[in-house]
Amino acid sequence: MISKNKLIEKKKKLEELEKRLLNDKKLPLLRSNLVFGEGSIKAQIFFIGEAPGLKEDQLRRPFVGRSGELLTKTLLSIGIKREDVYITNLVKRRPPENRDPSLEEIKKYEPYLKEEIKLIDPQIIITLGRLALKDFIPDIKIGQAQGKIFKIDNRILIPMFHPAFALRGTGNLAKFKKTFDSLPSILGKI
Ligand code: URA
């Protein structure tokens, strides 16, 4: 069990990280708001999406638009409360017109993501979508990798479809839900 003092220290370091991000004027996409990760600092499951959308930019919170609603609802359907996990993005500011973040943008924000992971220190990382998966395993297709278990730097990586993909048709939604439904059994095996 992590001590109270360690938790206070962790929280302080996360706040410092957020402040550094906010003040880093060399980062791309500075015209939009900073959307830092949120959730439990004790989380054992760490979700990584791509980049904030319009609603996330407005509210300065990750996954609070339609994709976020689906993510929150689907997590709850398998008995996981959103506030018990940690949720963040590869890129912490919204790309214009909701385009995908570029590889260059992802690389520029990457040191901050790495620090965020190190500070939260989760056992399991779940990447949401193709781009987040690519950041960890460049040469694998999401269709083949999703729902499988990978070991990366002493952590478990489970790639999942992005909720935005699930919102593009009932077939996609069924695939997305199926992987989430298998999560409790995957977690039980770890
Ligand atoms: N899509 C993402 O990848 N991240 C968000 O925060 C919202 C939508």
Best residue for ligand 1 mutational test, from 36, 46, 61, 67 (most atoms within 8 Å of Cβ): 67
- Index of the ligand 1 atom closest to the CA of residue 87: 6
Rounded to 5°, the CA angle 143-145-150 comes to 170
Separation of 5 CA from ligand 1 center, angstroms? 32
pLDDT at position 98: 86
Edge-to-edge strand ranges of the sheet holding 155-160: 38-39, 86-89, 45-49, 124-128, 155-160, 150-152
Bridge-based pairing state of the strands 45-49 and 86-89: parallel
- The whole-number pLDDT of residue 187 equals 86
124-128/155-160 β-pairing: parallel
Distances (CA, A) of 93 to 54, 58, 132: 10, 11, 15
CB atoms within 10 A of CB 114: 11
Q: How far, in Å, from the CA of 173 to the mean position of ligand 1?
A: 17
Contact between 83 and 73 under an 8 Å Cβ cutoff? The reply is no
Between CA 83 and CA 127 the distance in angstroms is 18
In the predicted model, residues of the chain with pLDDT beneath 70 are none
Question: Which residues have any ligand 1 atom within 6 Å of their CB?
Answer: 49-53, 56, 62-63, 65, 67-68, 89, 164
Determine the pLDDT at residue 172: 97
Query: According to the model, what pLDDT value does residue 90 have?
Result: 98
Prediction pTM value: 0.97
